[in-house]
A and B are shown apart, each in its own frame.
Chain A
Amino acid sequence: MAAADSPSTALRRRDLCSRGIRLAGKMRADVVDLLDTYVEQQGLDASASVAAVEGVPLAAVERWDEQTGTQRLLENLAAYRAFRALLAQMLEEQREQLGEADAGLGRALAAVLLQVSAFAYHLEELLRLESRGIPGEEGDGPPPPPRLSLFEQKLRGLGVLRELAQWAVRSARDLRQLAKPSPATGTAPGLAESP
C-alpha cells in the first residue's frame, strides 16, 4: 500500500471500496437467487453436497485477519478471474443445453458474470491505487477442464455458484477492511475482523 495516500487517492479508494462492498452484496444476493433458479432449472437438490470443484478458489482461509490489504486484493482478484472464466463456461454450456428455451437463467448467469467482471475491475483499480502491479492473467487461462458429463457440469455449476456466494461475503468484508483508514504506515495489515 502506498506510504502516503493523497486525498484524492484516499477518496478514490474509499469510493472503490464502498462500491465494491455494495457490488459484492448485490452479487451475493443475485447469486443466492440464481442458485435457487439454477437448482430448479437443472433438476438438482438444493441440499446436495458438492465436493470442491477443481479450479474454483475457496473463500475460506485461515488467518484471514492477518492478511494484508494487498494480499486480500490479490486473492480476490485471482478468485474472481477464475469465477469469470467458470461462469462464462457455464453460460456457454447452459446455452448449449437449453438453447434459448430458458433465457431467464441465461440472463441471470450473464448478469452475475458481469458483476464478477465488474468486481474484478474494482479489485484491479484498488491494486493500481496500491501502486501494485496487476498480475497478468495466465496466458491462455487455466487449463481447460476435463470433459465432464452433463450431470457433472450441473454439479460443477452448482459448486461455482455456491463458492461465488461465499466469496461475495468474504470480498465485502475484505473491502471493508481495506476501506478503513490505515493505522500507520499502510503496510500494516488491516484491522482484524472475522468474516
Chain B
Amino acid sequence: MFSRWNWVACGFCLVLNICSPDASGGLVQSCGHIIPESPVLALGSNFTALCILNESCLDFGNIYANQIIWKIKNRVVPKEQYHEINRTVSSVTFNDTSSLATPLTCNILADGQIEQNIYGITVTVGLAPEKPKNLSCIVHQMSRFTYVMNCTWNPGRHTFLDTQFRLRYSWPEELFPDCIPKGVNNSCTVTDIQFFVNTVIWVEAENALGKAESDPLVVDPIDIVKPLSPRNVSVSSGILPTVLKLSWENWISDAVMTLKFNIRYRIIGDTNWMEVPSEDTASRRTSFSVQGLRPYTEYVFSIRCMKEDGVGYWSDWSEEKTGITTEDQPSEGPSIWRIIDESHSPASWTVHLMWKALKPFEANGVILQYEVTVRDKSSLSCPLKKYNVTSTNYTLQLPKGTYEVTLIARNGVGASPPSVLLIPESNSKAPVKNLRTLPKHDKLWVGWTAPNSYVLKYVIEWCLVSSSSDCIIEWQIALGDVEGIDLKGIKPFKCYLITVYPLYADGQGSGQSVKAYLKQDRPSKGPTVQTKKVGKAEAVLTWNHLTVEEQNGFIRNYTILYKTIDGNETVVTVDPSKTEYTLSSLTSDTLYTVRMMASTDNGSRTGPDFTFTTQKFGKGEIEAIVVPVCLAFLLIVLLGVLFCFNKRDLIKKHIWPIVPDPSKSNIAQWSPQVPAKHNFNSKDQMYPEGSFTDVSVVEIEADNKKSFSEQDLKPFDLLKKEKSTSEGHSSGIGGSSCMSSPRQSVSDSDEGETTQNTSSTVQYSTVVLNGYRDQTPVQVFSRSESTQPLLDSEERSEDHAGGADSTVQRQQYFRQNGGQDETNTDRPCFERTKQITHANEGDLVGFVQLQVSGQSSQPLGLGMEKNTQEAALSNVLQTCTEGQAVRPETVEENPLSVDDMPKSYLPQTVRQGGYMPQ
C-alpha cells in the first residue's frame, strides 16, 4: 500500500518536473534530448540517433534508458534497432534513411504503461546535388550595345532539398558576380558581358548534403553571339528586269564583329524559299543585288546574319519585304487551238480560235493585246488578215481551206515569239494510237502511242460529259516528243471525254477519243425498272440508262433482282448496253418484286422496288377457251334454230294455237238471237241467278248436265298441271269440265287473283253442250290461251276511268274481237264463235266464252251460282290464268255499263263429246 502511494507520488512529481517552467530556459524543461538535432540525411544512408536523458529525471521520475521507446511518426521503431548505451542514453539505428519519417521521437514507458514523450526531432531526407551537365550559353543581342548571356544546364536529379544553383563566370584575374536563377534551377541570364576575353563559366549546385560544380565552359562571349537580324530591309528594282536590290542596316558594329548574311526569297504566293548562295553574302555588307529573277514578278525577301567566321548563332530572319521586278517582253507565244464548226454551211467554216493566256513568267508583264494573223495557204494571192484582240479567243468565218494562223502577245515592252497553228482542210494525217488513261492521285494521266511520222506537238482536248449541258472543251498542248501528260483539275466521279490530235508540220491527224474517270464511285442512284409487258410466265422489264451524272463511273453491268413475296431472290446480270430484259420461268398469277442494280468498278446502287403480278392465263389461253365455248354456243343456238325451223309448225301449233274468232263461228251464224250486248260484271254487281236479261241462250239438254258435272272437271286438273305451255293440251282446258255447267265455268272465272298477270291473254272456253242441229251434241270445253291482242281495247281503256267511256270501251273491245261496229256489238262474239265453228264445221254445238277478270272477285259469267262446282271450276281457272295476260281493268273500268252488259256468254252447242284443238 505504501509502495503504491509512493509510485503515484513519484509519477506526479515526474509530471511536475517535466512540465514545470524552467527558470533558466524555456517554458518546458525536457527530460532529455536527441542527438543530432534535426539532421538532414542522405537518402539511403544509415543513421543513428541518441536519446540522452537528463540526470534530474532519473532521480525524480525513476526512468532509465532501457525504458526509451523510439517512434517514427507514431509508429514504434522495432526494439531490435535500439541500443542502450548506458542508463541515460539510448540509440536507434536506421540502415536506410528512406524508412525514416518526421518526427522521430524519444519516448519513455513510465509505470502504468503510460507512454510519455521525451523529445523529438525533424528528420530531413534528401540527396546531394548532382553535377550540373550540358552547360551552354548564348549571348543575345538585345540592342545595339546591349548583350545578355543566357546559360542553361541540366540540374540533375531532384534532391528533395532546397538546392541553390549559381552560375559563375570569371576571367583569369577577375571573378564576376554570381548569377542566381530566379524561379528556375536550370538557366540564368548574365547582363554584363565583355567580348574578346575568354570567360570561364560554370554552375554550382549546393544544398545541405553537398555541393557540385559543372564542368567549366571556357568561351569568349563573342563566339556565342546570336545577333539581331538586320533592320530596315528594303527592296528596290533595278534597270534589269531580272534583278532586285536588297538593302539593310546592321545592328552590330564592325568593331564588335563582322557579319555574314543569308538571303532568301520567294515569289509571292509561293511557299518555297530560294536562297542566295551563301558564299555570295559571306562578307560584310549592307546591300545585295539578287539576280536571275523573273521579270514582272513580285518577290518576298528576308535576311539574317551571324558572325563572319561562322562561330556563333544565326540571327532570326528579318521581317519580309517585297519587291517587283520590271517588265520584259513575253518569253513565249501563247498556245493556240481551234474549234471548227462546219454546221452552218458546207462550203465555209466557223473557226473559233482560242489561246491560253500566258503564264506570268511567260508574259513578263501585262499583256496589252494579241495580234492574230490568218493566211490562206491555199491561195497565195490572198492577203494576210490581221486582227487585234484583247480577249483570248476569236471567231472567224472562213471558206474551207488550209490556213495558217499566227498569234503574237504584246505587252508594254515588246511582243512575244509568234505561235503558229496550221488549220488543214482535212485531218488526213495519221492519228495517235493506243489512247489510254490512268488516274494518278489527283491527276489523270493520258497516254498514247505516237504515230510513225514526226509530230510537232499534240493537242489534248477534254471536256466534262454532261447530260444537261454541252461539253465545254478544255485543251492543252504537249510537245511532240512526249507520249503522255497529266491532266489537272479533273474532278473525281465525273466522266471526261478526252481527245488527242497530233499536229504535224504539214497537217493534222484526226482525233482519237476515250472516256475516262479520275476516280469512280458507285452510282448515285439505281435504275428504275418497270414492266413493259407481263405474261403468265414471263415479264418484259424496261429501264432507262442512268444519266452520266448519276453513273459516277463506268456501268459495268446491270443486275436484276426479283423475287416473290416469300421466295428467294433471283439475280440476273444484264449487259449495261441493254435497256430491256425478259424474265422467264415466272410463276403465273404471282406477285413479284423486282429491283435493279447498276454497278461500277467501285460499287453498286439499287433502284426502287417495282412489283408486278404475272397473269393467270397465258397469251391465247383465254381465246382458246372462250372461242370454242362461243362457237359451241353458237352451234347449239344454230341447231336449235334449225330445229325450231324444221319443227316450226309443230311449235306454232303448240305455242301459238289458232284462236278461233267467235264472230266467225258457226254458232254465230245460226244463233237466232244475238245478244245485243255482253259486258263484264263489275265487282259490286252481283246478278242473281236467272236474272239474265240479255243473253243468247242455246238450248242444252238437261239430261246432259249430269254427264259432265264431275268427270269433266278432270281436264281442268290437267290444265292446271300443264298450264299454257303444255304442248297440245293447253288448249284443251277441259271442255268437258265446262260441259258440266257452263254457268259454273263462267262463274269460276271470277276469281280475281288468277287474273292479275294475264293481261295479254284472252282465254276462251267453248263449251258445246248440245249437238249441232240434228247432230249429237258433243261436250267440248275449249280454251284458248292465245296471246293475240284481242283485248287491246281493254288495255287502252285503262286510261279511261269514267263510266262515260264504258260504251266506247265496250265498242273497242268488241271491235277488236270481232271487228264489228257498234250497232252490232253482239256480233263479234258470235262471229268469232263462228270462226271456230267454221274451223270445226259441223262439230261445234255451242260454247261459252269466258272473259276472265283481273282483280275482280266477281264472276264474269252471268248468273254464277256459288256452289262447290263453281268453286272447283274457279280454282281451275285461276290456275289456268297464271302467267297469262289477263287485264283486270276490263272489269273495273266498266262498272257503269254493268246494267247494259250481258252477264254471261252462254255456252254454245258443240258436238257432244268433241274436243277441238285450236
Please give, as numbers and ranges, the residues of chain B lying within 8 Å of A114 by CB-CB distance.
Answer: 174, 192, 194
Please give, as numbers and ranges, the residues of chain A lying within 8 Å of B222 by CB-CB distance.
Answer: 22
With A19-B220, A22-B222, A110-B192 already in contact, the answer to whether A118 and B197 are too (CB < 8 A) is yes
In the complex, chain B residues 113-134 whose Cβ is within 8 Å of any chain A Cβ: none
Complex contact A25–B255 (CB within 8 A): yes
Chain A's closest residue to B198 (CB) is: A19
* Distance of A111 Cα from B220 Cα, bound (Å): 16
| A117 part of interface (Cβ distance < 8 Å) | yes
With A114-B192, A117-B171 already in contact, the answer to whether A122 and B197 are too (CB < 8 A) is yes
Of the 9-residue stretches A2-10, A26-34, A154-162, which lies at the interface with chain B? Answer: A26-34
Complex contact B145–A33 (CB within 8 A): yes
Complex contact A26–B195 (CB within 8 A): yes
Chain B's closest residue to A25 (CB) is: B255
* Distance of A18 Cα from B174 Cα, bound (Å): 21
With A19-B196, A22-B195, A110-B192 already in contact, the answer to whether A118 and B220 are too (CB < 8 A) is no
* Distance of A22 Cα from B308 Cα, bound (Å): 13
* Distance of A110 Cα from B171 Cα, bound (Å): 15
The interface centre, meaning the residue of A118, A121, A122 with most chain B CB atoms within 10 A of its CB, is: A118
Complex contact B145–A22 (CB within 8 A): no
Complex contact A121–B173 (CB within 8 A): yes
| A1 part of interface (Cβ distance < 8 Å) | no
The interface centre, meaning the residue of B145, B194, B196, B220 with most chain A CB atoms within 10 A of its CB, is: B196
* Distance of A92 Cα from B757 Cα, bound (Å): 161
Please give, as numbers and ranges, the residues of chain B lying within 8 Å of A122 by CB-CB distance.
Answer: 196-197
Chain A's closest residue to B144 (CB) is: A33
Chain B's closest residue to A21 (CB) is: B196
* Distance of A115 Cα from B173 Cα, bound (Å): 13
Minimal beta-carbon separation of B297 from chain A (angstroms): 41
Please give, as numbers and ranges, the residues of chain A lying within 8 Å of B254 by CB-CB distance.
Answer: 25
Complex contact A117–B196 (CB within 8 A): no
| B256 part of interface (Cβ distance < 8 Å) | yes
| A20 part of interface (Cβ distance < 8 Å) | yes
| B253 part of interface (Cβ distance < 8 Å) | yes
Complex contact B171–A121 (CB within 8 A): yes
Given contacts A20-B196, A25-B256, 10 further A-B contacts (CB under 8 A): A19-B196, A19-B220, A22-B255, A22-B257, A30-B255, A111-B192, A111-B194, A117-B174, A121-B173, A122-B196
Chain A's closest residue to B146 (CB) is: A107
| A109 part of interface (Cβ distance < 8 Å) | no
Complex contact A29–B194 (CB within 8 A): no
Please give, as numbers and ranges, the residues of chain B lying within 8 Å of A82 by CB-CB distance.
Answer: none
Please give, as numbers and ranges, the residues of chain B lying within 8 Å of A110 by CB-CB distance.
Answer: 192
Chain B's closest residue to A115 (CB) is: B194
| B489 part of interface (Cβ distance < 8 Å) | no
| B172 part of interface (Cβ distance < 8 Å) | yes
Minimal beta-carbon separation of B514 from chain A (angstroms): 73
| A23 part of interface (Cβ distance < 8 Å) | yes
* Distance of A121 Cα from B170 Cα, bound (Å): 12
| A interface, over-half SS | helix
* Distance of A26 Cα from B194 Cα, bound (Å): 10
Minimal beta-carbon separation of A138 from chain B (angstroms): 17
With A19-B220, A121-B171 already in contact, the answer to whether A28 and B192 are too (CB < 8 A) is no
Please give, as numbers and ranges, the residues of chain A lying within 8 Å of B197 by CB-CB distance.
Answer: 19, 23, 118, 121-122
Please give, as numbers and ranges, the residues of chain B lying within 8 Å of A125 by CB-CB distance.
Answer: 172
Q: Which of A20, A29, A121 is B256 in contact with, Cβ under 8 Å? A: A29
Minimal beta-carbon separation of A158 from chain B (angstroms): 20
Complex contact A118–B253 (CB within 8 A): no
Size of the B side of the interface (Cβ < 8 Å), in residues, is 18
* Distance of A44 Cα from B197 Cα, bound (Å): 33
* Distance of A117 Cα from B171 Cα, bound (Å): 10
Chain A's closest residue to B222 (CB) is: A22
Please give, as numbers and ranges, the residues of chain A lying within 8 Å of B192 by CB-CB distance.
Answer: 107, 110-111, 114
- Residue-wise, chain B 169-188 has the 8 Å CB interface mask toward A (1 for contact) of 00111100000000000000
* Distance of A17 Cα from B801 Cα, bound (Å): 165
Query: Chain A: interface residue count, which band?
Result: 20 to 34
Minimal beta-carbon separation of A106 from chain B (angstroms): 12
Complex contact B196–A26 (CB within 8 A): yes
In the complex, chain B residues 219-271 whose Cβ is within 8 Å of any chain A Cβ: 220, 222, 253-257
Please give, as numbers and ranges, the residues of chain A lying within 8 Å of B198 by CB-CB distance.
Answer: 19
Complex contact B255–A118 (CB within 8 A): no
Complex contact A22–B172 (CB within 8 A): no
* Distance of A26 Cα from B145 Cα, bound (Å): 11
With A19-B220, A23-B196 already in contact, the answer to whether A117 and B255 are too (CB < 8 A) is no
* Distance of A117 Cα from B195 Cα, bound (Å): 12
Q: Which of A29, A107, A124 is B253 in contact with, Cβ under 8 Å? A: A29
- Residue-wise, chain A 26-52 has the 8 Å CB interface mask toward B (1 for contact) of 101110010000000000000000000
- Residue-wise, chain B 159-172 has the 8 Å CB interface mask toward A (1 for contact) of 00000000000011
Minimal beta-carbon separation of B204 from chain A (angstroms): 22
Please give, as numbers and ranges, the residues of chain B lying within 8 Å of A115 by CB-CB distance.
Answer: 194, 196
With A22-B222, A118-B196, A118-B197 already in contact, the answer to whether A29 and B173 are too (CB < 8 A) is no
Complex contact A26–B255 (CB within 8 A): yes
Minimal beta-carbon separation of B253 from chain A (angstroms): 5
Minimal beta-carbon separation of A195 from chain B (angstroms): 17
Complex contact A28–B196 (CB within 8 A): no
Chain B's closest residue to A124 (CB) is: B173
Complex contact A118–B171 (CB within 8 A): yes
Minimal beta-carbon separation of A31 from chain B (angstroms): 10
* Distance of A118 Cα from B221 Cα, bound (Å): 13
Please give, as numbers and ranges, the residues of chain A lying within 8 Å of B255 by CB-CB distance.
Answer: 22, 25-26, 28-30
* Distance of A25 Cα from B171 Cα, bound (Å): 19
Q: Which of A22, A111, A124 is B196 in contact with, Cβ under 8 Å? A: A22
In the complex, chain A residues 102-147 whose Cβ is within 8 Å of any chain B Cβ: 107, 110-111, 114-115, 117-118, 121-122, 124-125
Chain A's closest residue to B220 (CB) is: A19
Please give, as numbers and ranges, the residues of chain A lying within 8 Å of B256 by CB-CB distance.
Answer: 22, 25-26, 29
Cross-chain pairs A/B with CB under 8 angstroms, 15 sampled: A19-B197, A19-B198, A20-B196, A22-B255, A23-B197, A25-B254, A26-B196, A29-B256, A110-B192, A114-B192, A114-B194, A117-B174, A118-B171, A121-B172, A121-B174
Chain A's closest residue to B257 (CB) is: A22
Minimal beta-carbon separation of A171 from chain B (angstroms): 12
Please give, as numbers and ranges, the residues of chain B lying within 8 Å of A29 by CB-CB distance.
Answer: 253, 255-256
* Distance of A30 Cα from B220 Cα, bound (Å): 18
Please give, as numbers and ranges, the residues of chain A lying within 8 Å of B174 by CB-CB distance.
Answer: 114, 117, 121
Minimal beta-carbon separation of A159 from chain B (angstroms): 22
* Distance of A107 Cα from B254 Cα, bound (Å): 22
* Distance of A121 Cα from B253 Cα, bound (Å): 24
Chain A's closest residue to B256 (CB) is: A26
Chain A's closest residue to B253 (CB) is: A29
Minimal beta-carbon separation of B252 from chain A (angstroms): 10
Minimal beta-carbon separation of B147 from chain A (angstroms): 10
Please give, as numbers and ranges, the residues of chain B lying within 8 Å of A25 by CB-CB distance.
Answer: 254-256
* Distance of A19 Cα from B255 Cα, bound (Å): 12
Chain A's closest residue to B223 (CB) is: A19
Complex contact B145–A118 (CB within 8 A): no
Chain B's closest residue to A29 (CB) is: B255
Please give, as numbers and ranges, the residues of chain A lying within 8 Å of B171 by CB-CB distance.
Answer: 117-118, 121
Minimal beta-carbon separation of B170 from chain A (angstroms): 11
* Distance of A114 Cα from B190 Cα, bound (Å): 15
The interface centre, meaning the residue of B197, B254, B257 with most chain A CB atoms within 10 A of its CB, is: B197
- Residue-wise, chain B 191-205 has the 8 Å CB interface mask toward A (1 for contact) of 010111110000000
* Distance of A58 Cα from B296 Cα, bound (Å): 61
* Distance of A27 Cα from B553 Cα, bound (Å): 79
In the complex, chain B residues 51-78 whose Cβ is within 8 Å of any chain A Cβ: none
Minimal beta-carbon separation of A44 from chain B (angstroms): 21
Chain A's closest residue to B173 (CB) is: A121
Complex contact B220–A117 (CB within 8 A): no
Please give, as numbers and ranges, the residues of chain B lying within 8 Å of A28 by CB-CB distance.
Answer: 255
* Distance of A23 Cα from B192 Cα, bound (Å): 15
* Distance of A20 Cα from B173 Cα, bound (Å): 16
Minimal beta-carbon separation of A25 from chain B (angstroms): 4
Please give, as numbers and ranges, the residues of chain A lying within 8 Å of B253 by CB-CB distance.
Answer: 26, 29
Minimal beta-carbon separation of A18 from chain B (angstroms): 9
